Structure 1
Amino acid sequence: MRIVRGRPLHRTLLRSRLLITTELKDRIAFIKLARPATRNALAIDDWVALKTAIEGINSTSARVIVLASTLDATFCAGSDLKAMEVLVGQPELVVEFRLRMREAIEAVAAASIPTMANIQGDCFGAGVALALACDIRVAGGRARFGVTPAKLGISYPVEDIARLVKAVGSGQASRLLMVADTISAADAHRTGLVQMLGEVAEAERVATAIANNAPQSVATMKRVIQATMQGNKLASDEIFDGFFASEAFAEGLNAFKDKRPPIYADEPRSVEK
């Protein structure tokens, strides 16, 4: 197991005690948050460490990234409010905080392989933004969700509001942001905030299923989904047609005929616009 520690970016910012651990197991890369004292609330250097962890995984043989927590009742409590206190009256530090948080969340969204949030406890504030950047969100029965900047007298980043609206619609986004309700996992599932309900075993099953599928196919479909959501158009006919000459398709057909699990090569297929 490799441990990545965030490096403080400014002397006036509180030093983080968060450990972000990464582990590669059976082609699944696990990134886990472990800061019990603050319920996994992230300070500026934690966001930097998270971005570093994501970038490191992109160069490995991992086929899926799972964001999770080592704590039983918490996924992520959001940004560290104690660390944010030093931002008051410091506009340059506010910009630095916003940029570091944005870079980490966008690194999750831009990962070349699928990302999944395994949410088995409380998920609040920036934790929701982090989960929304993942392709798939699985929530256990103990999970709760809240987007509460209005209770603190601040706003939510525009990029994260846009993802929230895409996930749940404008009405439910208004409820979460303006009322600042805390909702259950079942409610989050009904609104579309999470795609699946399940405990740790179910989340691991989903991750394993992704890892066992053809990485070329998965990477391509992730790229097409992202392009569609952004209103971009890819050369979809050429992409579709090209797979019929691929080694992955040949292996898939042979495995089907032989009644055995397919064994796919690690190299992802690149997709050009």
Structure 2
Amino acid sequence: MFEFVVQDREARIVIDRGTRRNAVPVAGWNELEKCVRAANTSKASLITITSADPASFCAGADMVELHALAEDGRMRRKFAGSMDSAFGWIRRTNKPTVALISGGCYGVGVALATACDIRVARPDADFAVTPARFGLSYPQTDVEALVRLVGPGHAARMIYGCEHYDGRAAERLGLVELVDEGEDLGRDLIDRIAANASSSLCSLKATMLGRWGSRERFETSFASPDFARAAAQYRGGRG
């Protein structure tokens, strides 16, 4: 379901279940968390999440399996807990995260994208948050993430109306930061991030997450090997 590979300075997590439009089964959330944990400890500078199927980023949770939750409270708790844990790892990882979205992105697929720092989409990507269509609710943290990005009014419109938005419309809402028509989705942005100092990316991510010690991170960054190299190159260039 999820595959993990490090390419140069990019740790890439690939959703690969095209026969089900990348719908995530109950067991898939533990698999995703393992991939994120591995990416977090890798030597990569950033983490990207993408799909092997250009027609579908993620169709949401696998509805074929979800019907079993109606009669099994223990399984419901396990499902909710494992999904929340996987998204929590994406939000708290010490590396920048980028979702690369092509095709359909529905339900928890949107939650997966909003758990990342940055979202890049194809113009013809299709976004929708549809639990109301199936008589379901939505986790609090995922609703809050959506509200932070698009505001309460647009979030309400998406959640209550189950409306669909293409990549351009999602960009106007603030759900997507960048629409890319290039052959290699998000490549320019990925390369720009990867070209920067890994220590700085890690420190800045911690500060953006509001972690304690931001001043100490700022002050000690002047003693880092990355700064020493950059300063030497700058002095050499000026000479």
* TM-score above 0.5, yes or no: yes
Q: Are 2:227 and 1:245 aligned?
A: no
Whole-angstrom distance in 1 between the partners of 2:185 and 2:75: 40
Q: Secondary structure at the match of 1:75?
A: strand
Partner of 1:256: 234
Contact 1:73 1:142 in 2 (8 A): no
Aligned mate of 2:104, from 119, 122, 126: 122
Whole-angstrom distance in 2 between the partners of 1:202 and 1:70: 12
Flag structure 1 segments of 5+ consecutive residues without an equivalent.
Answer: 1-18, 260-273
Whole-angstrom distance in 2 between the partners of 1:20 and 1:187: 28
Aligned mate of 1:35, from 17, 38, 41: 17
Q: What whole-Å deviation, never above 9, does each CA across 1:221-264 have from its counterpart, x for those lacking one?
A: 1111111xxxx7x44443323222322212112223445xxxxx
Aligned mate of 2:2, from 14, 20, 31: 20
Across the aligned residues of Structure 1 and Structure 2, the Cα RMSD in angstroms comes to 1.6
Structure 1 runs of 4+ aligned residues shifted over 4 Å read none
Which moved further from structure 2: 234-243 or 37-46? 234-243
Whole-angstrom distance in 2 between the partners of 1:112 and 1:237: 17
CA-CA distance at 1:161 after TM superposition: 0.3
- The structure carrying a bigger helix percent of its residues is 2
CA-CA distance at 1:111 after TM superposition: 1.3
Q: Are 2:150 and 1:168 aligned?
A: yes
Q: What whole-Å deviation, never above 9, does each CA across 1:42-75 have from its counterpart, x for those lacking one?
A: 0111111110111112222111111000112110
The aligned amino acid for 2:134 is: L
Q: What whole-Å deviation, never above 9, does each CA across 1:56-113 have from its counterpart, x for those lacking one?
A: 1222211111100011211000000001011112111111110111111111111111
Q: With a CA cutoff of 8 Å and minimum separation of 6, indicate the structure with the bigger relative contact order.
A: 2
Correspondence 1:57-206 to 2 at 5 A: 57-199=39-181, 200-206=183-189
The aligned amino acid for 1:47 is: W
The aligned amino acid for 1:203 is: G
Q: Secondary structure at the match of 2:209?
A: helix
Q: TM-score, normalised by structure 2?
A: 0.94
Q: Secondary structure at the match of 1:123?
A: strand
Partner of 1:218: 201
Whole-angstrom distance in 2 between the partners of 1:218 and 1:149: 35
Whole-angstrom distance in 1 between the partners of 2:38 and 2:216: 31
Contact 1:33 1:40 in 2 (8 A): yes
Whole-angstrom distance in 2 between the partners of 1:97 and 1:36: 22
The percentage of aligned residue pairs carrying the same residue is 34
Whole-angstrom distance in 2 between the partners of 1:201 and 1:34: 18
Partner of 1:46: 28
